[in-house]
Amino acid sequence: MADQTRSDIALLYRRAGFGIRPDELDALTGAGYNAAVDGLLAGLGSAPDPGGDSVTVPVFHIYQRPPKNFTQAQRKAADAVYATELRDLQDWWLNRMIKTSTPLREKLTLFWHGHFATGVVKVRDAKLMYLQNQLLRTTGAGPFDQLVQAVAKDGAMMVWLDTATDVKDHPNENFAREMMELFTLGVNNYTQDDVVAGARAFTGWRYDRLAYEYRFVPRLHDYGSKTYLGQTGDWNGEDAVNIAVRNPVSPRFVMAKLWSHFAYPVTPAEPVITDLVAAYGPSMNLTSALEAMFKHDAFRTATTRTNLVKQPIEYLAGAARALGLDATADRTGSSPSHGSGRPLAVIATALGQTPFNPPNVGGWGQNAYWLDTSTALVRQEAALFLAMRADLTSIGSIPPSQRPAAVARMLSIDGFGPTTMTALAAAQTNPVQLMALALASPEYVLA
C-alpha cells in the first residue's frame, strides 16, 4: 500500500510538476495521495514561490517599432537585442521550472502556453512574451472565462493573431476563428458566419506597444447587430468571449484538453470528462477541475501511466531537476564553469519544442509527434550530456546490481521493465552511461 501510494504520488508529481526527489517523496508518502494533491493545489494562484522567484527576471528594452528607413545594419543590431532577450527569457522560464516550489502552477503555465499557443517569431518582442507568460501563471487556475478574457487582451496574443489590426471596414478573422476553434469550442462547433460576426465584435481592439496596454478605439468598432453562435445583439469582443465560453460544447472541449495533457489524450465525448465538467461547473472553476482530475480514480491507472510521452521541455526540466542541474546544465549552486551556456533551450529546439515559439497557433502535438529518428538521436545525445554534467557519485558508490533501482528513484519512476534492464545491465559499471540510457528509456520518456 505504501509502495502504491509512493508510485501514485510520483506519477502525480511527474504530471502535475517536473518529478520529485526521493527524499521529498518519502516525506509525502505518509500523509497519503490526496494530501499530496492538496499540497500542489495550494501552490496555485498567487501563492508564494520562493524557488521560482529566486530566478532573476531578465531586463527587457522598451519596444520601438523599427523605422521604415532602418538600414540593414540597424536592423541587424535590433535583431541582436531581440535574440539576446529571447534567450534570457527562455533560460528564465526553464530555470523557474527547475527550481519552482509550486510545480503545478509552472506546469499549468506550460499547458496554457501550448493551448493559447503564441510564437515569438511573429511577436518579436521578448517583453510581450514575458507578460503573457506571467498572465498564464497568475490567471491559469482562475475561472476560465476570466483567463480567456485576459488572453484576448494580451499584447502578444493580439499581435500573434492580428486582433490589433482588426478594423470596422476590414475585419480580420484570425483571432475570432482561433478563439473558437482552438481556445474554447473545438473545430466544427462554429460556422464561417460565426467567424465573420466574431471578427466584427473584436473590431476596434488595439494594443499600445509603447505603453504595453490594451486600448479600445470606438471609431474603429462595428456597433452593428451581429448574429454569433446563435445569439443576436450588438456584441463586442468581451461578449464574443463570454458567449463562446458559455456555449454548451465548451466545457467538454476545455476539460478534454486538460485531461489529454495531464492524463492521456481523449476526445470530449470520453465518459471521464463528464466528471471533470461537473467540478468545473457554471463558474468555470479550473482549480476545482484540476482537483477532480488528479483525485479521479481513472487518473491513477495503468492507462494513464502508459499513454503519455513527456514533451521535450518537461523532459529536460525534469531531468535537470532530478540531476541537480540548471538551464545551462551547470550544477545548481556551482559557479558557471562550462562557459557554453543555455544548452537546455538549445536541446529543446533540437527536440522540436522551442519555449515561446510553438510551430503554429495549434501548439505542439502529443505522443507520436515527439517520436522520430531525429528526436531519438537528440534525446540520447542530450541524455549523455546531462548525465556527464551531473554528480553521480551516489550511483557510483553502490554495487552495480543496485544501480538501476537507484537511478529509477532519482528519476521518480517506478522502475524498469525486463527489456530496459537488459540494456542497463550492459552499462551498469559506468554511472554516466547508465544514467544516459535510463534517461532515454521508454520508462522515463513516458510522462
Q: Is residue 174 a contact partner of residue 205, using CB atoms and an 8 Å limit? A: no
Q: By CB under 8 A, what part of segment 94-123 binds another protein?
A: 119, 121-122
Cβ atoms of 400 and 381 within 8 Å: the answer is: no
* Site membership for another protein, residue 400 (CB under 8 A): no
Residue 385 engages another protein in binding (rule: CB under 8 A) = yes
- Alpha helices (runs of H) in 206-298, residue ranges in sequence order: 237-245, 250-262, 271-280, 286-294
DSSP-derived pairing of the beta strands 226-228 and 213-216: unpaired
Residues 234-273 that bind another protein (CB under 8 A): none
Q: Is 83 in the site for another protein (CB under 8 A)?
A: no
Q: Select the residue interacting with another protein from 126, 244, 309, 410 (CB under 8 A).
A: 309
- Report the distance separating Cα 359 and Cα 238, nearest Å: 28
Residue 426 engages another protein in binding (rule: CB under 8 A) = yes
Question: Do residues 356 and 348 touch, judged by C-beta distance below 8 A?
Answer: no
Does 149 sit near another protein (CB under 8 A)? no
Provide the residue type at 40 as one letter.
L
Site stretch for another protein (CB under 8 A), options 88-96, 99-107, 266-274, 349-357: 349-357
Tell me the window of 55-63, 91-99, 240-248, 302-310 that interacts with another protein (CB under 8 A): 302-310
Q: Which is nearer to another protein, 83 or 388 (CB)?
A: 388
Q: Which three cell numbers stand for residue 426?
A: 550492459
Question: Which of 57, 376, 398, 405: binder of another protein (CB under 8 A)?
Answer: 376
Nearer to another protein, 34 or 419 (CB): 419
Shortest distance, CB of residue 302 to another protein, whole angstroms? Answer: 10
Q: How far is the CB of 361 from another protein (least distance, A)?
A: 7
Tell me how far, at minimum, the Cβ of 368 lies from another protein, in Å.
6
Query: Which residues neighbour 386 within 8 Å (Cβ) at sequence distance 6 or greater?
Result: 316, 319, 320, 323, 325, 329, 435, 436, 439
Neighbouring CB atoms inside 10 A of 391's CB total 12
CB of 116 to another protein, least distance (A): 15
Distance CA 419, CA 411 (A): 18
To which residue does cell 545491465 refer? 425
CB of 140 to another protein, least distance (A): 24
| Residue whose cell numbers read 491559469 | 140
Question: Minimum CB separation from another protein for residue 287, in Å?
Answer: 29
State which residue, 36 or 435, has the beta carbon closest to another protein. 435
Read out DSSP for 274-302?
HHHHHHHTTTTBHHHHHHHHHTSTTTSSH
CB neighbour class for 411 (10 Å; exposed up to 12, middle 13-18, buried from 19):
buried
| Rounded Cα distance, 299 and 264, in Å | 9
Interface region with another protein, contact rule CB under 8 A, candidates 80-88, 129-137, 354-362, 396-404: 354-362
The residue range among 32-40, 49-57, 130-138, 379-387 that interacts with another protein, by the rule CB under 8 A, is: 379-387
- Report if residue 129 touches another protein, rule: CB under 8 A: no
DSSP 3-state assignment of 368? helix
d(CA 393, CA 387): 12
Q: Is 418 one of the binding residues for another protein (CB under 8 A)?
A: yes
Helix/strand/coil percent split, the chain, to 5: 60, 5, 35
Near another protein by CB under 8 A: residue from 254, 293, 392, 424? 424
Does 391 engage in binding with another protein (CB under 8 A)? Answer: no
Question: Which of 108/382 has CB closer to another protein?
Answer: 382
419 is a contact residue toward another protein (CB under 8 A): yes
CB 245 within 8 A of CB 280: no
Contacting residues toward another protein, per CB under 8 A: 68-70, 72, 75, 119, 121-122, 174, 181, 187, 306-309, 329, 340, 343, 346-347, 349-350, 352, 359-362, 367-369, 371-378, 380-382, 384-385, 388, 417-420, 422-424, 426-427, 433, 436-437, 440-443, 445-446
